């Protein structure tokens, strides 16, 4: 999959970095994005050169957030930064704006071995802008060193983890419209594939980190108590078991993956049971910095869906 585009402004994506993050326009500067408006969390990388790619973008977020959603990352050489600051000052003066910058501060670093590092942050995290506002917009970093608050491999992994999404489960049942007492209700996920999903976060020329979610199993809740329903989810696997003709070979009506309701739902709110299916994905990460691969572990992702199940009694007629 093609990496998400990271746009730039003024041939270096440096303009927004030079302004205090709290006052910066969130749509200015370099971005990497993996965000769904229907969820409470996502990733909007601002003033960053980090790119996001992978098939794990664009699904359902589980709400994971970076513990510290701001950092410094390599930004510009001494020459480029001095030229950019001079260009910005010229543009500001021509526009009649006040642009107070000490060009001597930037000019003094020309010829030194090192690089300017700038503040970047995740604007998809509510704490991102305030975190960035507490840092100096630009710091000079001598060659071979990393500043306090500089991007770490663990943080890059956290960015990938925050961007990682999985498909939202869509429940399929058999029987579909209505079930009956003592009849096995089979459960599976519509269109689901037991394929891993991953996201890679890359800081070009520095390091990369990949987080992968692998579907593991389903968990089923019948929507009622154990004396009213029996749950069978040990044989569900990662995506459930569609009913096929002849599946109930023993004639007991017990599904490999599903529920057997023992009482009608007529006495329940809305006269249905609310079935919940949770898809559980194991999550692991690997970071690469300088050729060294570092593993990371994360808690599983759990995403759930619900469906109302009306359950009726099978009526029998006895003739003399």
Token pair of 211 as six digits: 């987080």
Task: Examine the pLDDT at 180 and tell me if it is beyond 60.
Answer: yes
What confidence category does residue 249 fall into, taking pLDDT thresholds of 50, 70 and 90?
low
> Hey, how many other C-beta atoms are within 10 angstroms of the C-beta on 101?
13
The C-alpha angle with vertex 44 and arms to 43 and 46, in degrees rounded to 5, equals 140
pLDDT of residue 183: 94
pLDDT for the residue 19: 41
β-bridge mates for residue 292, sequence order: 289
DSSP class of 238: T
CA distances from 64 to 56, 61, 132 (A): 14, 7, 19
What is the pLDDT, as a whole number, of residue 30? 35
Predicted local confidence at residue 52, as pLDDT: 96
Is residue 158 within 8 Å of 151, Cβ to Cβ? Answer: no
| Rounded-to-integer distance, Cα 182 and Cα 107, Å | 81
Cα-based distances in Å from 43 to 25, 52, 303: 16, 10, 18
Give residue 305's pLDDT: 95
Please determine, for residue 17, whether its predicted confidence score (pLDDT) is greater than 50.
no
Going by pLDDT thresholds of 50, 70 and 90, the confidence category of residue 295 is very high
Report pTM. 0.80
**Which is more confident, 13 or 50?**
50
- Read off the pLDDT of each residue in 184-201 and give the average, rounded to a whole number: 93
What is the Cα–Cα distance from 216 to 232, expressed in whole angstroms? 16
Q: What is the pLDDT of residues 46-89, one digit of tens each?
A: 999 999 999 999 888 888 999 999 999 999 998 998 888 888 88
CA 66 to chain centroid: 11
Average pLDDT, the chain: 85
């Amino acid at each position: 999959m093609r990496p998400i585009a990271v746009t730039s402004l003024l041939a270096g994506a440096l303009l927004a970095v030079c302004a205090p993050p709290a006052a910066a326009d969130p749509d200015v500067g370099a971005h990497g994005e993996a965000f769904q408006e229907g969820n409470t969390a996502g990733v909007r990388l601002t003033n960053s050169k980090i790119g996001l790619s992978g098939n794990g973008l664009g699904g359902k977020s589980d709400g994971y957030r970076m513990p510290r959603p701001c950092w410094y990352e390599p930004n510009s050489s001494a020459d480029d930064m001095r030229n950019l600051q001079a260009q910005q000052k010229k543009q500001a003066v021509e526009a009649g704006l006040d642009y107070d910058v000490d060009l001597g501060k930037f000019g003094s670093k020309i010829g030194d071995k090192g690089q300017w590092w700038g503040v970047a942050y995740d604007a998809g995290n509510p704490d991102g802008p305030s975190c960035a506002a507490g840092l100096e917009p630009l710091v000079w970093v001598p060659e071979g060193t990393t500043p306090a608050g500089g991007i770490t491999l663990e943080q890059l992994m956290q960015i990938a983890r925050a961007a990682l999404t999985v498909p939202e489960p869509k429940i399929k049942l058999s029987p579909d419209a209505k079930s009956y007492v003592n009849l096995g209700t089979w459960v599976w996920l519509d269109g689901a594939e037991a394929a891993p999903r991953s996201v890679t976060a890359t800081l070009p020329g520095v390091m990369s980190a990949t987080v992968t979610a692998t579907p593991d199993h389903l968990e089923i809740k019948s929507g009622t108590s154990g004396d009213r329903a029996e749950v069978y989810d040990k044989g569900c696997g990662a995506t459930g078991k569609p009913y096929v003709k002849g599946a109930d070979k023993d004639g007991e009506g017990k599904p490999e993956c599903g529920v057997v309701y023992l009482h009608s739902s007529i006495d329940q709110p809305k006269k249905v049971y609310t079935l919940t299916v949770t898809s559980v994905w194991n999550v692991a990460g690997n970071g690469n910095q300088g050729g060294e691969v570092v593993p990371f572990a994360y808690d599983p992702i759990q995403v759930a869906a619900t469906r109302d199940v009306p359950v009726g009694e099978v009526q029998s007629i006895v003739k003399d």
